[in-house]
Amino acid sequence: MTATVRIPTILRPAVGGDAEVEAAGSTVGEALRAVGDAHPPFASLVFERDGSLKRYLAVFVDGRDARHLRGLDTPVGPGAEILVLPAASGGAG
Amino acid sequence: MSGYDYDDLVRAARAQITEIGVPDLAARLDAPPLLVDVREPHEMATGVLPGAALVPRGALEKGIDHVAPDRDAEVVLYCTVGNRSALATLVLEQMGYTSVSSLAGGIAEWRASGLPVEMPLPGDDTARYARHLVLDEIGPEGQERLGGASVLVVGAGGLGSPAALYLAAAGVGTLTIADPDVVDVSNLQRQILHATSGIGTHKTDSAAAALARLNPGVVVRTRTVRLDASNAEEIAAGHDVVVDGTDSFPARYLLNDTALRLRIPLVHGSVLRFEGQVTVIDPYAGPCYRCVFPEPPPPGVSPSCAEAGVLGAVAGVVGSLQAVEAVKLILGAGEPLAGRLAVYDGLAGDLRVFTTARDPACPACGDPSAPPPLVDYDETCRPVRP
């Protein structure tokens, strides 16, 4: 199964600058690990050493917060869209 | 070419409707019918007939119900010379008004006859808020609610500028602006509350002056301090809504916790480069900021706008969305962005809304009986140990 992982601009350097990356996997974790395997800097931004999701990130699967579904075990269907989103601090102050 | 031009339409309308002459209306000034001025607000500003209701032609069909709910009431419409009011009279007849007429010669002839006009009262905001008054979601009641509301805008910067300007323009009765900084030339690319002439002055003073120019009916209070654990609760208390226009994670988490403690809804907004996020924190009813982002990013992952840049207009979009959410919260209108995170990508031209959820184990809002203590955080949002 292939999902589309959308990458916000500040994380794009970790995946070679792409706004979207196609990733194979049947769960959120598998898809994100597939991106991390292809782009190791991405893996270190997204995963803790124990393989859990970093707590500064929100991950949305087809518009819903995966942390409150089944986390990295949340299943992804074909054509699913995953957004990895860090909190942003800028208030343009 | 066939069809009708303006003169044809006015002539046809005047042939069908009832007109009232200036002397006839003047004779009834002691007990006048309902007078409705259908001109544009800038025309009304030079004077109106005594006691007239102000409903610009463009807002007539929606607005007339507010001033003339009874369709059998006697209504006299007027404009400058009686043409627009003739066309408007036809419309009201179509809407079922049974006793509507147009003032022949309009206010021009009224004035030429030496009859009295009055200035719209400074406190009469009918013309100022005409475009609100015709909205079903606002109307006179909603406008009054806005006038009675107070909003704290934390940060008079890129987000606070558009948010505060729109809230003042909307007639929010009391605005408190909190910001410790002075206006720098590098702010002016996006912080539209401030002008070149204000460089070096406190942002709060610059903001208060700009908001007073825009809408002198709004009470603007200023707090020229940085929000911290010792003052946040006192500054935020008593407001109906708090708008987060701050520019650091410690301030954002502190505001989140303050909103929870005071149970005041918080409109969060943040921007970076061409992207922005907006959500509403409805304390203990929806997820708080920590439910969505339990921790701030490690240093270096999420740079500040100073380091990474921001398009001024993107801050405008996000700050304006915050103003929309604040107004909705005050009115109780529509669906607030509580439990949802709007993510705007200006480069992609894309606005998406994601569903968020409360974390039952959230350290801040998981236990409603134990609101989070207020502590000062360092840049990594670890409590600062004294």
pLDDT digits (tens, 9 = 90+) for B66-79: 788 899 999 999 99
Are B302 and B277 in contact by the 8 Å Cβ rule? The answer is no
> Mind listing the pLDDT tens digit for each residue in B170-183?
999 999 999 999 99
- Per-residue pLDDT averaged across B214-225, rounded? 94
| Three-state secondary-structure class, residue B280 | strand
What pLDDT score was predicted for residue B51? Answer: 84
Scanning B215-343, the segments in alpha helix (DSSP H) are 232-236, 249-262, 289-292, 305-308, 312-331
Q: Which of the listed ranges A16-25, B247-256, B292-301, B323-332 does the model predict with the highest average pLDDT?
A: B323-332
Q: How far is A85 from chain B (nearest CA, A)?
A: 9
Residue ending a domain, among B96, B124, B152, is: B124
Interface of B with A in 271-310 (CB under 8 A): 271-277, 289, 292-298, 301-305, 308, 310
Q: Assess if residue B198 is contained within a domain.
A: yes
Whether residue B63 is predicted with pLDDT greater than 50 in this model: the reply is yes
Q: Give the CATH number for residue B49.
A: 3.40.250.10
Query: Percent of chain B scored above 90 by pLDDT?
Result: 77
What pLDDT score was predicted for residue A84? Answer: 94
Residue found by looking up tokens 């929309």 in the block: B324
> Mind listing the pLDDT tens digit for each residue in B79-92?
999 999 999 999 99
- Per-residue pLDDT averaged across B25-31, rounded? 90
Element containing residue B174 per DSSP (H, E)? strand B174-178
Whether residues B357 and A65 touch (CB distance < 8 A) is answered with yes
> Mind listing the pLDDT tens digit for each residue in A14-65?
999 999 999 999 999 999 999 999 999 999 999 999 999 999 999 999 999 9
- CB of A90 less than 8 A from some CB of B: yes
What pLDDT score was predicted for residue B30? Answer: 85
Q: How far is B358 from chain A (nearest CA, A)?
A: 8
Look at A23-32, B114-123, B158-167, B242-251 and tell me which has the smallest mean pLDDT.
B114-123
What pLDDT score was predicted for residue B297? Answer: 86
Contacts of residue B299, defined as CB under 8 A and 6 or more positions apart, other chains included, come to B379, B380
Q: How far apart are CA B356 and CA B286, in angstroms?
A: 9
Average pLDDT, chain B: 92
Residue ending a domain, among B124, B155, B172, is: B124
Q: Assess if residue B383 is contained within a domain.
A: no
| Residue B253 identity (one-letter amino acid) | Y
Domains of chain A: 2-86 (3.10.20.30)
Q: How far apart are CA B384 and CA B278, in angstroms?
A: 28
Are B270 and A88 in contact by the 8 Å Cβ rule? The answer is yes
Binned at pLDDT 50, 70 and 90, residue B42 comes out as: confident
Whether residues B303 and A45 touch (CB distance < 8 A) is answered with no
Interface of A with B in 60-89 (CB under 8 A): 60, 63-65, 67-68, 83, 85-89
What pLDDT score was predicted for residue B123? Answer: 56
Q: Assess if residue B372 is contained within a domain.
A: no
Residue found by looking up tokens 């929100």 in the block: A58
| Residue B337 identity (one-letter amino acid) | L
Q: Give the CATH number for residue B201.
A: 3.40.50.720
Interface A-B, measured as beta-carbon pairs within 8 A, has a size of: 134
Q: Assess if residue B317 is contained within a domain.
A: yes
Handedness of CA B32, B33, B36, B37 (dihedral sign): negative
Comparing CA positions, the residue from B114, B111, B126, B123 lying closest to residue B78 is: B111
What pLDDT score was predicted for residue B1? Answer: 53
Cross-strand pairs, B151: B175, B241
Q: How far is the CA of B282 from the CAs of B229, B257, B356, B383, in angstroms? A: 21, 12, 12, 24
Comparing CA positions, the residue from B271, B290, B304 lying closest to residue B379 is: B304
Q: How far apart are CA B286 and CA B292, in angstroms?
A: 11
Q: How far apart are CA B337 and CA B329, in angstroms?
A: 10
> Mind listing the pLDDT tens digit for each residue in A39-53?
999 999 999 999 999
Could you tell me the residue range of the domain that residue B17 belongs to? 6-124
What pLDDT score was predicted for residue B386? Answer: 41
B86 and B222 together in one domain: no
Q: How far apart are CA B162 and CA B190, in angstroms?
A: 9
Whether residues A87 and B293 touch (CB distance < 8 A) is answered with yes
